Amino acid sequence: MSMFRFGILLPAAALCLVSSVCRAQHPNLGRPLTPEEVSKLDITVTPEGNGLPPGGGSVSAGAKVYADKCQSCHGAKGQGGPQDQLTGGIGTLTSQKPVKTPISYWPSATTIFDYVRRAMPLQSPQSLTDDEVYAVTAYILSIDSVVPQDAVLDAKSLPQVKMPNRDGFVRWWPVPKR
Amino acid sequence: MKKANQPNTEELSRETATRKGRLDRRTLLRAGALAAGMAGMGAGIARAAETIGADAPDWMKTPGRSLSAYGMPSKYQEKVQRAFTILPGRAGTGASRTPLHLLEGTITPNGLHFERHHNGVPDIDPSRHELVIHGLVKRPLAFSVETLMRYPMESQIRFLECSGNSGSFNQPEPQQTTAGGLNGLLSCSEWTGVRLAALLDEAEVAREAKWVVAEGADAAAMSRSVPLEKCMDDAMIALYQNGEAIRPEQGYPMRLLLPGFEGNMNVKWLRRLKVMTEPVNARDETSHYTELMPNGKARQYMFLQGVKSAIIKPSSGMNMKGPGFYEISGLAWSGSGRVSKVEVSSDGGKSWTVAALTPPILSKALTRFRLPWQWDGRAATLMSRATDEKGEVQPTRAAWVSQYSPVQFYHFNGIQGWRVDADGTVKHVYV
C-alpha cells in the first residue's frame, strides 16, 4: 500500500466517522427523484408562466370545449348557474355589491389555466388536454374582451394577458408592522 | 365503594328540595339508612321482603353488552353530529361544522373535526402515496408513508380554523343559529408527525428560496403558497390525529400542519411541496381567502388567524332553566400564540370580568375559559373578549366590519354577543 493511498484513506475514514454520527441524528431516508419523475408530477404554473406546457388554444376552439364541458355548470358565457359565475363584475369591487369573478377579481390569467387544468371539470378533473385548457382559458377571457376574439393563448402569450384587477392586491405577508 | 355512594346530608336536602317537598320512597330509605348509621346502630335497613335490586336501575340488573372493536358514543349522544348542507351538483365541496355547543374541554373528537373539501374526500391507498419535495432544492426527494413513519416524531396540540369561520357575522342581521353553527369551522387536536424542517433540510433548500407551494392529492389538487420561514419553523407533516392515523376527511395519510395559519393552508392529502422564490396566486389564495376592502383593494396572504373567543355555554339557541347558578364557559384562541386573558361581560360590554383559563394554556390551541354566574332572571347580554400573549385584543364586530367591503367574510374575529331574555331563551345579538 503506497503512502499516497494511505494518505487519502485516512481522512476519508475520519469523515465517515463524523458523518455517521450526523446520520444517526438525521434519517436521510428520502428517495432521490430524477428530473423526469419531477416533471411528471409538477403541474404548478406561476404568474410569470413558469410551468406552462407546450401547445396552445384559440378562443373559437375554447368555445366548443366550454359548451361541451363547462356550460352545464357555469351557464352560457360564464354567467353562472347552477355553479360559480366566471365572467362579468369588472368595476364592481368598490361598490356595495362587489361581484368577484375570475375575470373581475383574479390578478393572474395563469391562475385560470392552472386551476382548470388541475381541478376542472368537477366530475372529471385532469381530463382536458393542455390544448383544451389553453383554449377554454382563452374563451373565458374573451367573453369580457380581456383578450380579443382571435386570440390564441400559449406558454408565451398567456402570462402577458393583463387582468382587470392585476394591481388589486396588497400583500400581507410578512405581516406589516403597525 | 358503598360508603362513597351514600349521599351526605347536604345532598339529601338538595335532592329533597328539588323534589319540591315530595319525599319518595327511595329518598326516605336513604335518609333512614343515614340516620341509622349516624346513630351508631350499625345495621342497615331491614329488607326482609325485597332485594336491593328493587331500587337499582335496569342496567345494574342485567349484564351489559360485550366488547367492541371500535367504540362509539352512547346512543343518548346521537344528536352530537357535525352540521352541513349538501350543495346540489357538488356533493364533494362545502363544509361541515363541529358542534361546539355540544362538546366540552378543548380537544375535538376525530369524528367531529370540521371538514372543508374542494372536491370530496379521496380514498388514498397509503402504499401508493408519496410526499415529493422539489423545486429549489439540491436533492428532489420522495417520502413514502412507510418511510416517514421511521422519522423522529413530535406532537403538537393545535387548533385549526377555516378562514371562512364565523363568516355570517358580516350579515346585517345576526344569524339565529347555535354557537357551533356560527363558529364550528373550528377544531383542536393533538397532531403527531414529522417536523417539515427536517425533510427540507434533507433536500437542502437553495439560498434564494422564499416560498413553498403545497399541493393535495384530492380531485381538486388543492394548492397553496406557504412562506418558507413557516415551513422551517413549527410546520409539521402530520400523520396522526389524537393518537390514531389521520381520518380521511382530515387528509389521510398525511396533511400539512401550519399552526396558527388559516385552515385552508394546512393542505390535506399532501402530495407535493415545491420550493420557490415567489407565491403562485393559486385559485384558493386569490378567489378565496383574500380580504376585499372598501377601496376595492384586497389584502392577500393574510395567514394568521386573529385572536378570538366565543361563549359556548350558554349560547344562542339554548334555554336557561330558571334563575340561579350557571357556569359561563367558552373557547378562546389565537394564531399568534397563547391566550393571555379572556374577559366576560353580562351587561353588553359596559363592565368586564376576567374569566379563569383552564390549563393547559397552549400556544395556538383552543383554551377553555370559565366564569361562575348567578343569573338573577333578568335580561342580560353576554360577551367575551380575548387578548393574546402578543397583546392583540379581539375587536368589536363593528370595528371589524368597518375595515372591509360588505361581501368580505373571511377571518372574522370580532366580539360575539348572546342575549339572555327573562324567559330564559338565548339569542344571537349584535351589540
Query: What ipTM goes with this model?
Result: 0.88
Alpha-carbon distance B365 to nearest alpha carbon in chain A (angstroms): 21
Average pLDDT, chain B: 91
Q: Is there a single domain that holds both residue B170 and residue B215? A: yes
B281 & B186 share domain: yes
CA distance A71 to chain B (A): 13
Classify residue B101: in a domain, yes or no. no
The pLDDT value given to residue B44: 58
- Using DSSP's 3-state secondary structure scheme, residue B303 falls into coil
* CB contact B213 to A (< 8 Å): yes
Nearest CA in chain A to B202: A28
Q: B326 at the A interface (CB within 8 A)?
A: no
Asked whether residue B267 falls in the same domain as residue B131, the answer is: yes
**How many structural domains does chain B have?**
3
* Residues B287, A105: C-beta atoms closer than 8 Å: yes
- pLDDT, greater one: B138 or B28: B138
Percentage of residues in chain B with pLDDT exceeding 90?
Answer: 87
- B65 domain residue, yes or no: no
Write out pLDDT tens, residues B42-67.
455 666 788 999 999 999 999 999 99
Q: What pLDDT is stored for residue B46 in this prediction? A: 65
- Identify the pLDDT of residue A38: 98
Q: Which residue of A has its CA nearest to B301?
A: A172
B369-B373-B379-B380 Cα dihedral, nearest 10 degrees? -30
CATH of domain A49-160: 1.10.760.10
**B147 and B228 housed in the same domain:** yes
Say whether residue A100 is in contact with chain B using an 8 A CB cutoff.
Answer: yes
Alpha-carbon gap, residue B166 to B184, rounded angstroms: 8
Tens-digit pLDDT profile for residues A46-71: 999 999 999 999 999 999 999 999 99
The answer to whether residue B77 is domain-embedded is no
**For a pLDDT cut of 90, what percent of chain A falls above it?**
83
Q: Domain map of chain A by residue range? A: 49-160
Both B54 and B162 in one domain: the answer is no
Question: Measuring CA to CA, how many Å separate B252 from each of A61, A126, B244?
Answer: 39, 21, 11
> What percent of chain B clears pLDDT 70, i.e. is strictly above it?
89
| Residue matched to cell numbers 380514498 | B123
pLDDT(B36) > 90: no
- pLDDT value at residue B19: 34
Site from A28, A34, A42 to mutate, B interface, most B CB atoms within 10 angstroms: A42
- Which residues have a Cβ under 8 Å from the Cβ of B42 and sit 6 or more positions away? B36
Residue at a domain's end among B272, B299, B326:
B299
Rounded (5°) CA angle A53-A55-A58: 125
In-domain check, residue B99: no
Cβ-based neighbour number of residue A101 at 10 Å: 24
pLDDT at B49: 80
According to the model, what pLDDT value does residue A21 have?
A: 55
B227 and A CB contact within 8 Å: yes
Q: Is 90 exceeded by the pLDDT of residue B120?
A: yes
What mean pLDDT value characterizes chain A?
Answer: 90
Of A126, A170, A173, the CB nearest to B297: A170
Size of chain B, expressed as the number of residues it contains: 431
Mean pLDDT of A67-83: 96
pLDDT of residue B284: 95
**Strand B186-195 versus strand B236-241 pairing type:** antiparallel
Q: What is the pLDDT of residue A24?
A: 58
* Residue B287's CATH number: 3.90.420.10
Interchain contact B281–A (C-beta under 8 A)? yes
pTM over 0.80: yes
For residue B383, pLDDT over 60 is answered with yes
Residue A75 burial (10 A CB sphere; 0-12, 13-18, 19+): middle
> Could you tell me if A7 lies within 8 Å of chain B, comparing CB atoms?
no
Question: Quick one: average pLDDT of A89-97?
Answer: 97
Q: Which of residues 145-174 of A touch B (CB under 8 A)?
A: 168-174
Mean pLDDT of B115-126: 98
Residue A54, pLDDT score: 98
Same domain, B245 and B383: no
pLDDT tens digits, residue range B145-166?
999 999 999 999 999 999 999 9
How far B219 CA lies from chain A's nearest CA (Å)? 6
Residues B277-305 have a mean pLDDT of: 96
Composition of chain A by helix, strand, coil, percent to 5 = 45, 5, 50
Probe site for chain A from B261, B284, B286 (most A CB atoms < 10 A):
B286
Do A37 and B142 count as a contact with CB atoms less than 8 A apart? yes
- How far is A22 from chain B, CA to nearest CA, in Å? 12
Average pLDDT over residues A148-156: 98
The pLDDT of residue A17: 53
Range of the domain at B25: 2-60
Mean pLDDT computed over B289-300: 96
Domain membership flag for residue B150: yes
- State yes or no: pLDDT of B79 exceeds 70: yes
Scanning A96-143, the segments in alpha helix (DSSP H) are 109-119, 130-143
pLDDT tens digits along B1-34: 333 444 443 443 333 333 333 333 343 344 444 4
CA pair distance B170, B167, nearest whole angstrom: 6
Give the residue from chain B lying closest to A175, CA to CA. Answer: B302
pLDDT score of B45: 62
pLDDT for the residue numbered A22? 52
- Is there a single domain that holds both residue B147 and residue B295? yes
In terms of domains, do B258 and B322 share one? no
Q: Compute the average pLDDT of residues B258-265.
A: 98
Asked whether residue B94 is assigned to any structural domain, the reply reads no
pLDDT in the model for residue A176:
84
Banded model confidence at residue B88, pLDDT cuts 50, 70, 90: confident
- Partners of residue A106 in chain B, C-beta under 8 Å: 281, 283, 286-287
Query: What pLDDT does residue B9 have?
Result: 38
Q: Give the best residue of A111, A137, A177, A178 to mutate against chain B (max B CB count within 10 A).
A: A111
> Hunting for cell 397509503 — which residue is that?
B126
Please report the pLDDT score of residue A56 as a whole number.
98
By residue count, chain A amounts to 178
